[in-house]
Amino acid sequence: MLDYLTYAIASNDETIDHLENVYETGSLQDKELYESLHERLDKLGRKLNNFLQSVESSHLSDK
């Protein structure tokens, strides 16, 4: 399960990179949409990291 969470975090980070790239190159010109998507992806990344930390600490306490 930890691998899947790690992949999800990496995919989220990659999506943020792509979003920033399309905004910086002008492919996405709607600043409000960019900021909304960036904020939501950032929030998702924090949630995924918190969940991963919770699973890791729970996994370690079971040993």
Q: Please give the tally of structural domains in the chain.
A: 1
Supply the pLDDT for residue 59. Answer: 80
List the domain range (segments joined by +) for residue 33.
2-61
Q: Model's pTM, two decimal places?
A: 0.87
pLDDT along the chain (63 residues), means of 10: 94 98 98 98 98 90 69
What DSSP string describes 11-61? HHHHHHHHHHHHHHTTS---HHHHHHHHHHHHHHHHHHHHHHHHHHHHHHH
Supply the pLDDT for residue 63. Answer: 61
